[in-house]
């Protein structure tokens, strides 16, 4: 699946964060976390380490351009997602 297809498939996942406080896009956090977990990452530290290790690839695809979120930021991004949109597309 191409990244754009993934983005289209999960476009119903709403970003409930306050827009004035958003530094990292929902898609980047979601996609980066999913890639990390598939690759065997455990927890927010593992997700951040995965993104850090593949930062150039993510930047090439328009994610994490300026920097990589802290592990607690990754948790905040993911924890704000409601599970129902995932159930609807699976």
Consecutive 10-residue runs of the chain (90 residues): their mean pLDDT?
77 68 76 93 93 95 89 84 74
pLDDT of res. 42: 92
Evaluate whether residue 25 is within a structural domain. no
Inter-CA distances, 38 with 21, 27, 47, 85, Å: 29, 16, 10, 20
pLDDT of res. 20: 66
Other Cβ atoms within 10 Å of 31 Cβ, number: 19
Domain that holds residue 81: 30-90
Evaluate whether residue 40 is within a structural domain. yes
| Overall domain count for the chain | 1
Evaluate whether residue 19 is within a structural domain. no
pLDDT of res. 73: 85
Evaluate whether residue 22 is within a structural domain. no
pLDDT of res. 38: 94
pTM over 0.85: no
Evaluate whether residue 80 is within a structural domain. yes
* Sheet strands (E) in 1-90: none
Evaluate whether residue 60 is within a structural domain. yes
């Amino acid at each position: 699946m191409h990244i754009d297809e993934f983005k289209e498939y999960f476009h119903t996942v709403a970003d409930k964060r306050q827009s004035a406080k958003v530094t990292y896009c929902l898609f980047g956090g979601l996609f980066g976390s999913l890639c990390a977990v598939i690759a065997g990452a455990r927890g927010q530290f593992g997700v951040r380490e995965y993104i850090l290790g593949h930062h150039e690839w993510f930047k090439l695809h328009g994610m994490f351009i300026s920097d990589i979120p802290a592990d607690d930021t990754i948790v905040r991004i993911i924890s704000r997602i409601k599970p129902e949109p995932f159930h609807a597309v699976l």
